[in-house]
Chains A and B, each alone.
Chain A
Amino acid sequence: MSGIGSALLPQGSIRTEGFTPPGPADFDLPPIGGDFGTFHAFGQEFVLGVTKPMLQLVLSAVLIFGFFYLASRKRAMVPGKLQFVGEEAYGFVRNSLGRDIIGTHDYQRFVPYLFTLFTFILLNNLFASIPFIQFPTFSRSGMVYGLALMSWIIYNVVGMKKHGIGGYFKLQSVPAGITGPILLLLVPLEFMSNIIVRPVTLALRLFANMFAGHLLLILFALGGEYLIVEMSLAYAPVGVLAWVLFLAVAFLEILIQFLQAYVFVLLNAMYIQGALADEH
């Protein structure tokens, strides 16, 4: 294997003859312009520095702000092309994610949050397929934990404001219409699933989808290159086939990038709706 992957292999690993498959080490990008030292926390070593995904987060915020600023600057009764695209995107999140899920009574104050979240995740996912960037920001798990923590705080605080702290925990952990000793089993389970596991699965779903998709693309690209360049001519057609599959998977990835942004915001809306729901 040549290129970035081999340079980032952990020290002391034996370079055997033949193909080295890509792994999680391919996602450890070095800090741009050197690091400012290291520190230890949670039993791991962290490097202080600015990496590519950090810059992508800032770039995406600037791009989204710029686009929607331009799209909404000249508000006309009959929208131009740019305004039409902006309105379609806003209307999609507002109607299919906000109004249909949270309900007509409460949805309006959550639309700005949901819309920002959707465009932010979508653009950061699409960075995986945009030439010269080609790295999904959320394939670094730390980036996703921030988003999941934010949504966890939001749906819990919203629920506690509406029902009070005791009422909220009762709503989330006692299923309606169930009495008797079975509650001893159900209450801890419901509490685990609604309060503790939700942010973890929310974060892992986005992270692992972006990670696995990008890993698959690296595998097809490097494997195809190895078959064509390093092995005998008889293997070259298989390498070409790998590159054809690379293209097919790249298009599938664009679908998945959109779908994951949609699912993340859909689940956020559902959690908010569940926290706001009246007891029945």
Chain B
Amino acid sequence: MDGNLNMIGYGLAAIGPGVGIGLIFAAYISGVARQPEAQSRLQSIAILGFALAEALAIIGIALAFVL
């Protein structure tokens, strides 16, 4: 079974977005816990932040296959 060093690099690169997405949803959950009626407003903001942080991981996996 042979592997590729790119994939190890991608695994390391995915740590950053992983931490970022965790922070985003932690803030979302505590925001909803404090003020449940704000959920609908917070939800789209949280999903947007999640999408932006995830974009880094996504670019990483695309480059891991391309490079």
Contact = CB atoms under 8 A, between A and B. Distances in A.
B20 to A, nearest CB: 15
Contacts of B61: 208, 211-212
A18 B1 contact: yes
Contact of A205 (B1, B54, B65): B54
Contacts of A211: 61
B59 interface: yes
Contacts of B51: 205, 263, 266-267
Contacts of A263: 47, 50-51
Interface in A5-47: 16, 18-19, 21, 24
A266 B47 contact: yes
* B interface majority secondary structure: helix
A101 B44 contact: yes
* A interface majority secondary structure: helix
Interface of A: 16, 18-19, 21, 24, 96, 100-101, 201, 204-205, 207-209, 211-212, 259, 262-263, 266-267, 270
A151 to B, nearest CB: 14
25 contacts: A16-B1, A16-B2, A18-B1, A19-B1, A24-B65, A96-B40, A96-B44, A100-B40, A100-B44, A101-B44, A201-B58, A201-B59, A204-B58, A204-B59, A204-B62, A205-B54, A208-B58, A208-B59, A208-B61, A208-B62, A209-B58, A263-B47, A263-B50, A266-B47, A266-B48
The 9 A-B residue pairs with the shortest CB-CB distance, nearest first, are: A208-B58, A263-B51, A201-B55, A205-B58, A208-B61, A208-B62, A204-B58, A18-B1, A204-B62
B31 to A, nearest CB: 17
B55 A204 contact: yes
A35 to B, nearest CB: 24
